Amino acid sequence: MDTLTAIRERRSVKYFDSSHRMTSAEEKQLFELAILSPTAFNIQHWRFVNVRDASLRQKIRELSWGQAQVTDASLLIVLCADKNAWAKQPERYWVNAPKEVQDYLVPAMGAYYSNNPQAQRDECMRSCGMAAQTLMLAAKAMGYDSCAMDGFDFEKVAQVIHLPADHLITMFVVIGKAVTPARPRGGQLKLAEVLIENIF
């Protein structure tokens, strides 16, 4: 499926074939595409927790108000981010760049994020949002359906997956084979209502 079709046809699906599993090659392809998503300063601070264990999934479903897609989708991805990735060997993010680029960007990264927890968190949310969209569009192009989720107890799920203290959870992304098609779009706003030319 081409990119434009994937964008038009991607919808949030809630009900999945619980017996279906993606192949290891498909999973690898999906995550290899996801890590091509953009991040500021090339920090790549997303962390994809691929929850395979059935008992863990059941616990997480209970913390997600019983939503079936948590256990029934082929993949349950807890999309997390390392808030302090900017400070953890930042030179590795630019290891293949020319020296003058490294010499500029690596110190600039520290100058921007140091003592700026709001920027650290905001960057995590932006980057994981883009990674989530990449996952969902790639899944659609591969013939799968998906749903991004925030309907769960973030703190308790963090405990279940042993989330490190300097990480945060941004959302879930579930991916699999739909058994019930998505409902018709609920009410798309007109482009003229959301597209502003120059100033409000």
In the chain the domains, ranked by start, together with CATH numbers, are 3-182 (3.40.109.10)
Question: Is there a contact between 56 and 160 (Cβ–Cβ < 8 Å)?
Answer: yes
Question: Is there a contact between 121 and 83 (Cβ–Cβ < 8 Å)?
Answer: yes
pLDDT of 6 = 94
Phi/psi for 193 (5° steps) reads -80, -25
pLDDT of 110 = 94
Q: pLDDT means per 10 residues in the chain (200 residues)?
A: 93 96 97 98 97 98 98 98 97 96 96 96 97 98 97 98 98 96 88 96
Report the distance separating Cα 23 and Cα 32, nearest Å: 14
pLDDT of 135 = 98
pLDDT of 185 = 86
Question: Is there a contact between 173 and 135 (Cβ–Cβ < 8 Å)?
Answer: yes
Is pTM beyond 0.85? Reply is: yes
Q: pLDDT by residue (tens digit) across 56-78?
A: 999 999 999 999 999 999 999 99
Residue type at position 9: E
pLDDT of 166 = 97
**Which element (helix H / strand E) includes 124?**
helix 117-141
pLDDT of 54 = 97
pLDDT of 10 = 94
CA proximity to 148, closest of 83, 81, 76, 82? 76
| Beta-strand runs (E) in the chain | 46-50, 75-82, 145-149, 167-176
pLDDT of 95 = 96
